[in-house]
A and B are shown apart, each in its own frame.
Chain A
Amino acid sequence: MLWRLIRSGLAPHRRALSVIVVLQLVSTIASLYLPNLNADIIDHGVAKGDTGYIMAVGAVMLAISVVQIAASVYAVYLAARIAMAYGRDTRAAVFHRVGEFSAREVAQFGPPTLISRSTNDVQQIQMVVFMALSMMVGAPIMMVGGVIMALRTDVGLSWLVAVAVPLLAIAVGLILRRMLPQFRIMQTSVDSVNRILREQITGIRVVRAFVRERFEEDRFAQANQSLTGAALSVGRLMSVVFPIVMLILNLSMVAVLWFGAHRIDAGDMQVGALTAYMAYLIQILMSVMMATMMSMMIPRASVSAERIGAVLDTESSVIPPTGSTPEPSTPAQVTFENVEFRYPGAEHSILSGISFTAEPGRTTAIVGSTGAGKTTLIGLIPRLFDADGGRVVVGGQDVRDVEPARLWAHLGLVPQKPYLFSGTIASNLRYGKPDATDDELWEALRIAQADEFVGALDGGLEAHVAQGGTNVSGGQRQRLAIARAIVRRPDIYLFDDAFSALDTATDARLRAALRPVTREATVIVVAQRVSTIIDADQIVVLEDGEIVGLGRHDELLESCPTYQEIVVSQRAAQEVTTR
């Protein structure tokens, strides 16, 4: 997976990659040549006492060193550029893919892990790519070069290389193999810690209001301990690598001297050659060591690659149609035809046999107890999910046949939990209609009963909105979310429990103000409060995912037991006589 991910990501940089290889080649050969020159100095300069020769060769060594650094620096430049570009492109790919997800996929992963996969995991791979490019390309070249030079110097000792190198590779390989599963555990622990922290930060008010700090601290402490434990295992394994590598390296030196001495004695080898051979062996083993150090980062990056791959390989369950797509007609009627929906692997359907029509110019209300499937139902219209059975028809077209962007252009959604984005009031209101004028914004605010409080804010439309809209109250957030939908002037309004935070008076005023605006639009309102829906042209009563009542308030009050229960449980309904 890691290899696949890296390979596809690095494909556009092929030319720069080959330049790096050439540069590393030059740099490595330069490094390898120096001991050769040193041997030269010893054998021809020192042994003969020729000082002039020593100086001359020394000058050559200097020149080669300069070439070496020039090549190295340029290689680092290219490596940094490529690796960071790779990181940028991978982040963008993940972001784009998540953007394509339907609500189901996002819920399946959960935002916290998607977030850490986008940044944390990409960072891991990015570092590996950088390390690999700047060093690992040099390592095999160095090794091959070193082997060649060593063989040229003395073939008789070459069996040492044949023993030492594989020994090193195997030793390190075994350790790495044990590290991989540990890294997986560690990354999962990282996920847990991140998730808990995110929950705590997001829900800080709830935590404090319910005095749950102690509980949260304990919960965090547990996750913290797991993470620490996993990191300990990994770290301890890693601490073995360096000593083993150094040991093998040094033992090889000893072996070279021993066996080399015999060869010298037999006249098969020169002393200068022995020195050079030792230097080459060091270089070979150093390159293997460098490679192993690099490869220590691989297990963790591998796990990260798995996690990123899981996201990139997940296809959205909501597939946009291809080819020419029809356009829903306006005004848009919304029809559910025998719709069924269930979560994958679930025994019971959330929704079954749902059939009703919401006419334009009419308000259709949907009521039912919590968990009856109301939000799911609304979510089927913008294709946040797809139905498992039956179909949803908007403006005469099956929603699955319409291009998503065209479909959404007809919709104005106010979700159950109003979410505002960081920015200003104006930027939030313009969310559905970027070119809306300030007048249009004020008009929408007026209808949503929000113009007064926005007007009183410092900066008015330009007042700051914190992420999630936490610096305004729940009621104000809802009204802003409603205004946001109104600005868009869609054909179809979807209000998912959008008036719950408003007091009854504001609720009534808002709906009254909304009426002229929605005269030709299809309005679908999910509500818990009877007073909100009492005027609706059509009420759909849901229970356990099925429609148990369909009609106007008065009819249902007589015919539908479930509806009666709901009304009775909200005694206020009987007190409300004003509309």
Chain B
Amino acid sequence: MSGEGVVTAEEKAAAQRRGPGARRPGGPPHMQLGMPGEKSMSFGPSAKRLLGWLAPDRARVLLILALTVVAVGLASVGPKVLGKATDSIFAGLLGGQFAGRVPAGTTRQEVIDQLRSQGQGNIADLLSGVDFVPGQGIDFSAVGRVLLAVLLIYVASALFMWASGWVLTGVVQRTMFRMREAVEAKLNRLPLSYFDGQPRGELLSRVTNDIDNVSMSLQQTLSQLLNSLLTVLAVLGMMFWISWLLALVALVSIPISVLVTAAIGKRSQKLFVRQWAATGELNGIIEETFTGHQLVKVFGRQAEVERTFAAKNDELYTAAFGAQFVSGIIMPTMMFVGNLNYVLVAVIGGLKVASGQISLGDVQAFIQYSRQFTQPLTQVASMANLLQSGVASAERVFEVLDAPEQTPDAVAPVADAGGAGHRGEVRFEDVSFSYDETKPLIQHLDLVVQPGQTVAIVGPTGAGKTTLVNLVMRFYELNGGRITLDGVDITAMTRHEIGRASCRERVSCCV
């Protein structure tokens, strides 16, 4: 397909008139700003809008939520139960140390009191937090039971997680299907001026590269995001159950993480927008060069073209590097916060175990929870990176979807057209039309073409010959008067019908 124009430049030049710098990437004309492609990203609203695309799969989304809640719930109970095994072991260890050193039947409290009276207060404090039986070593059957329970919990968790991921994939892909479909359908409703207003490759990049990016981002972030957020909540719950003090310590890290992520995120937002805009522009250059490959060579412009390409390529490099670096900092920062957490828990926890206020198993479970807590936080943060990139692309897709359309067809196809038969009479009644208001083109034109007639339209360039044909095809809207086809106003017909009628009767409807 060559996409050659049907209109003479004289007639159409006014319509396409734009100032210098008209070749702006991105957006339909009325949305273009001063700087090429510079548009700040509104993350919140765009992200919400993006998620809104999942709405048709609402039921499945709820199912995913339910499955994930169960999976995460099970997974977070695991460490606590595992901690019990450690407690059991520790108790067995300590208890076993008293074997042979105290008479059989001595109770735990007696041993503690004895130690205290012996001046070993520290050890007594420690032991008061441990549920040991003096003289008895590790109770393996107890430990074994606990471990079996943990095993089952983890297996069940994995299964639920798998199911959740399975359904999620379906939801994401169905959403992307809908989005691609919507964009393609939109293309058919956009006015021709929209296509002329930007390089082909630029528009193509939006409907291919950007949609691709959204798909990948959604797929990767949604599953992790849901999982991580729920894990954070569940783990937090467990931690509070064990020790509210330690939990508070861990809790401190949340607002810090959020602040850090937000601050870094704001900076990388702009860079991601710039990156994908530059990708679109580069795509435009590539598309044009490859399409006009012959001409580039034979006119000896290969070197020049490569220079232009290199300049834009460098721009893309700078933007991409900035975006990746800034958002790539999030993860190490989160790890640092996590480590801080670890240090605090280890120290404070250690102090508390030494004074007998918490069991060692609880501290160990707590540490495991801290890790389990910071890990999803870190994941959420690194997902932020991917999510930003995806939302930046989604915005570019939305720009296409939001572009003003050509006047829609009349809702109900007119029955009369069929009744009168496709005779092929075309009537121009007081038709007026201009591409540009200041340069009137067709004024008060009356013309009748009878069925079976062949009417030749001649005239110098710019008289409006091709425009007449375009108006019949309803490529543009009239400023005044009307055109009828077999007595029916073309604005009352669907374009489909106009096309069928006019293309059957005319020899050819385009150059």
Contact = CB atoms under 8 A, between A and B. Distances in A.
Nearest to A78: B325
B159 interface: yes
B13 A463 contact: yes
A88 B312 CA distance: 10
A471 B196 contact: yes
Contact of A247 (B154, B351, B461, B503): B154
A204 B9 contact: no
Given A271-B89, A274-B86, A419-B295, A470 B165 contact: no
Contact of B137 (A51, A251, A253, A265): A265
Contacts of B176: 228, 231
A76 B317 contact: no
A80 B324 contact: yes
Interface in A190-231: 190, 193-194, 197-211, 213-214, 216-217, 220-221, 224-225, 227-228, 231
11 contacts: A49-B123, A72-B336, A88-B316, A88-B317, A197-B208, A231-B215, A235-B219, A261-B143, A278-B368, A466-B16, A484-B299
Contacts of B92: 261, 264-265
A160 interface: no
A262 B184 CA distance: 65
A220 B143 CA distance: 61
Contacts of B192: 204-205, 208
Contacts of A417: 2, 4
Nearest to A231: B173
Contacts of B347: 41, 54-55, 57-58, 61
Contacts of A462: 20
Nearest to B372: A282
Contact of B7 (A47, A114, A264, A473): A473
Nearest to A488: B299
B287 A384 contact: no
B287 to A, nearest CB: 5
B401 interface: no
Interface stretch (A116-124, A394-402, A522-530): A116-124
Interface size class of B (residues with CB under 8 A): 35 or more
A103 B291 CA distance: 11
B203 interface: yes
Nearest to B155: A247
Contact of B290 (A88, A111, A468): A111
A393 to B, nearest CB: 18
Interface stretch (A404-412, A510-518, A531-539): A404-412
Nearest to A473: B8
Nearest to A286: B375
A236 interface: yes
A46 B360 contact: yes
B403 interface: no
B313 A282 contact: no
Interface stretch (A91-99, A324-332, A364-372): A91-99
A119 B215 contact: no
A470 B4 CA distance: 6
A193 B176 CA distance: 13
Contact of A84 (B4, B282, B321): B321
4 residue pairs, one from A and one from B, having the closest CB atoms: A203-B1, A239-B165, A49-B122, A211-B499
Contacts of B3: 202-206, 468, 470
Contact of A80 (B208, B328, B350, B371): B328
A326 B195 CA distance: 46
Contacts of A257: 82, 85-86, 89, 143, 147
A216 B329 contact: no
A239 B13 contact: no
Question: Which of B85, B199, B350 is the most central at the interface, judged by chain A CB atoms within 10 Å of its CB?
Answer: B350
A384 B294 contact: yes
A413 B123 CA distance: 96
A474 B466 CA distance: 11
Interface in A34-73: 34, 37-38, 41-42, 45-51, 54-55, 57-58, 61-62, 65-66, 68-69, 72-73
A305 to B, nearest CB: 17
Interface string A359-385: 000000000000000000001001010
A83 B317 CA distance: 10
Contact of A119 (B78, B205, B340): B205
B398 to A, nearest CB: 17
A95 B306 contact: yes
A170 interface: no
Nearest to A406: B300
Contacts of B155: 247
A81 interface: yes
A103 B293 contact: yes
Contacts of A446: none
A298 to B, nearest CB: 15
Contact of B200 (A91, A99, A134, A198): A198
A9 interface: no
Contacts of B480: none
Interface of A is mostly: helix
Given A58-B346, A205-B510, A250-B154, A106 B293 contact: yes
B336 A235 contact: no
B132 interface: no
Contact of A199 (B1, B82, B180, B293): B1
Contacts, number: 449
A84 B317 contact: yes
Interface in B174-192: 174, 176-177, 180-181, 184-185, 187-188, 192
B383 interface: no
A413 B195 contact: no
Contact of B5 (A83, A202, A247, A472): A472
Nearest to B161: A243
B438 to A, nearest CB: 11
B5 A470 contact: yes
B18 interface: yes
Interface string B336-352: 10011011001100110
A242 B18 contact: no
Given A216-B188, A413-B295, A464-B16, A51 B177 contact: no
A199 B147 CA distance: 62
B300 A405 contact: yes
Contacts of B310: 92
B332 A236 contact: no
B158 A244 contact: yes
A432 B299 contact: yes
B463 interface: no
A54 to B, nearest CB: 4
B324 A84 contact: yes
A522 to B, nearest CB: 15
B33 interface: no
Interface in B88-132: 89-90, 92-93, 96, 122-123, 125-126
Contacts of A115: 201, 204, 283, 286-287, 290
B313 A202 contact: no
Contacts of B8: 453, 472-473, 475-476
Contacts of B293: 98, 101, 103, 106, 111
B4 to A, nearest CB: 5
Contact of A453 (B9, B172, B284, B351): B9
Contact of A96 (B123, B279, B306): B306
Given A123-B209, A453-B461, A472-B9, A38 B125 contact: no
Interface string B128-170: 0000000001101001100100110011011101100110111
Contact of A198 (B204, B289, B350): B204
A501 B510 CA distance: 12
B10 to A, nearest CB: 6
B127 to A, nearest CB: 11
A34 B347 CA distance: 12
Interface string A537-556: 00000000000000000000
A457 B215 CA distance: 44
A559 to B, nearest CB: 34
